[in-house]
Amino acid sequence: MTITDDLGRTHGYADLPRLMGLMTGDEKHGPAATSTLDVLWVLYDRVLDVAPVRRDDPERDRFLLSKGHGPMAYYAVLAAKGFVPVDWLPDFGAYDSPLGHHPDRMLVPGAEIGSGSLGHGLPIAVGTALGLRAQGLSGPGVWVLIGDAELDEGSNHEAIAFAGPAGLERLHTVVVDNASASHARPGGIAARFEAAGWSALTVDGRDHEALHAAFTAPHPGRPHVVVARVEPKSA
């Protein structure tokens, strides 16, 4: 799917490398960004119920980027989908640019949280899902994208342990696994979530059809995690 901007230009998946290439400068965290590209595209293109004109709609889905260090892919997808102007991208990281090295929800249209510090996104997502449930809003989904290295942080394990027994079925976590964790055992990410009562699937993080199928798999009564494996960070 493509989107047309005010000048009649269309932006689709094939445009993402060009859009990312507009962002230059130091502290780009390139591997952190490129590892998330396909996950972000499939979510925004085919799964999330969000749109630029519905940024404040209580019934919108909430997407929380916890892996906020290296947000170029996120900014490129937001630009492709019309949340931010493409002409903001070349100023990425500049002093007066709204597109910082970590996203700021007060400056970036469509961003639900400020992020980049490891271990914060999943606990915030749990609180968001609880808050929506307390308000009687059963429609919106809550999605959070984390990196495998974030599972080195104890705050995430507390959130995992709580969400399963709480039955937060509108909570969805995507773990982009580029083998950068220090303490997680290889292949053990899904098992960690399953032990806490989550529904869990592991897929190729570059395969769009596999990602879509995993994202939309039913998981009644349970939160859901998709482990998206990509090439190792050091590769």
Query: Which pLDDT value is given to residue 183?
Result: 63
Query: Which pLDDT value is given to residue 25?
Result: 66
User: Does residue 121 sit in helix, strand or coil?
Assistant: helix
Query: Which pLDDT value is given to residue 46?
Result: 97
Query: Which pLDDT value is given to residue 117?
Result: 80
Dist CA 47 CA 50 (whole Å): 9
Dist CA 75 CA 16 (whole Å): 10
Q: How far is CA 155 from CA 126, 137, 191, 205, in A?
A: 11, 26, 18, 25
Query: Which pLDDT value is given to residue 51?
Result: 94
Q: What is the pLDDT of residues 176-202, one digit of tens each?
A: 998 887 666 666 899 999 999 999 999
Query: Which pLDDT value is given to residue 10?
Result: 63
DSSP 185: P
User: Does residue 18 sit in helix, strand or coil?
Assistant: helix
Which residues are CB-neighbours of 206 under 8 A, at least 6 positions away? Answer: 38, 230
Query: Which pLDDT value is given to residue 61?
Result: 98
β-pairing verdict for 171-177 and 199-204? unpaired
220 burial level (CB within 10 Å; 0-12, 13-18, 19+)? exposed
Dist CA 52 CA 49 (whole Å): 11
Query: Which pLDDT value is given to residue 84?
Result: 95
Helix, strand, coil shares, percent, the chain, to 5: 40, 15, 50
Q: Which residues of the chain have pLDDT under 70?
A: 1-10, 25-29, 31, 182-187, 234-235
> And the tokens for 12?
């689709």
Model's pTM, two decimal places? 0.91
Amino acid, res. 11: H
DSSP 13: G
Query: Which pLDDT value is given to residue 27?
Result: 56
Query: Which pLDDT value is given to residue 165?
Result: 97
DSSP 47: I
β-pairing verdict for 10-11 and 171-177? unpaired
